[in-house]
Amino acid sequence: MIDFHCHLDLYPDPKRVVAECVARTIYVLSVTTTPSAWRGSSTLVDGAPRIRLALGLHPQLAMERKSELSLFEKLLPEAKYVGEIGLDGSDAYKGQWQHQVDVFERILHLCAREGGRVMSIHSRRAAREVLVRLKASPQSGVAILHWFTGTRNELETAIAAGCWFSVGPAMLSSERGRELVLRMPRERVITESDGPFAQYQRRSCVPWDMADAEAIIAKIWDVDRTSVEHQLRENMKRLVAVAA
Ligand code: MN
């Protein structure tokens, strides 16, 4: 199983979740929401062979943690993956829009300067605005739009721009989400939990829920589980190769 967008450090008992991922041989990309969380998260996943860490500054924290951009810049050379970053246009955060834009554009610039990164990107109610910035920063790396909730048109734009997509049980539980997944190129889809934020079966989604995600994707693609596992594994290998 593969969980390419999970906040391992934010579960109530992170060590237990990490141990479970190790025991179940799950590949995890653990994203961070602030640069100051990087060191602690590194310690948390230290020695876990299939867990990788992404350096992030979440758009919902962009205003509050803008001062951590200098730390982001300092840590970026040692980070092969970047996330969670992006823009959030929902009502609760659009008042902080300019701060979000400043932070996101600055991070894209830094990624480009470092030769590009594999980036896990938040685009809630801001798909168009995220895509405009990615287009303006083509050297920033490979963009994975996590839990994409844009329109069909925005999806087409994202596909044409070369974006990848990480999809999870929460998204796959809705008809609209499944419709979008059906239209995503199979060679650019990867699974994600977005735990502990995303809810699944009335609890926080966990990396081992990716088994259910695979089963739903198998139905959408009209193939068997083994084919889905194979495709996702091949996709992950290509991302890992880019990040190396
Ligand atoms: Mn997230």
Question: What number is the average pLDDT over the span 111-128?
Answer: 98
pLDDT in tens, 208-221: 999 999 999 999 99
Question: What number is the average pLDDT over the span 189-210?
Answer: 98
8 A C-beta contact, residue 126 and residue 136: no
Question: What number is the average pLDDT over the span 156-182?
Answer: 97
8 A C-beta contact, residue 239 and residue 51: no
Q: How far is the CA of 221 from the centre of ligand 1 (A)?
A: 25
HSE of 19, CA atoms in CB hemisphere, 13 A: 4
Helix (H, G, I), strand (E, B) or coil at 87: coil
Read off the pTM: 0.97
Q: How far is the CA of 7 from the centre of ligand 1 (A)?
A: 7
pLDDT in tens, 181-194: 999 999 999 999 99
Q: How far is the CA of 127 from the centre of ligand 1 (A)?
A: 15
Identify the pLDDT of residue 33. 98
Longest dimension (CA), the chain: 48
Q: How far is the CA of 54 from the centre of ligand 1 (A)?
A: 11
Query: Residues of the chain with pLDDT > 70: what percent?
Result: 100
Q: How far is the CA of 229 from the centre of ligand 1 (A)?
A: 23
What pLDDT band is residue 79 in, cutting at 50, 70 and 90? very high
Which residue type sits at 86? G
Identify the pLDDT of residue 203. 97
Q: How far is the CA of 195 from the centre of ligand 1 (A)?
A: 7
The continuous run of DSSP H or E covering 175 comes out as: helix 175-183
Distance between first and last Cα of the chain: 21
Q: Residue 57 and residue 59: Cα distance in Å, rounded?
A: 6
Identify the pLDDT of residue 109. 98
Q: Residue 176 and residue 156: Cα distance in Å, rounded?
A: 15
Q: How far is the CA of 93 from the centre of ligand 1 (A)?
A: 15
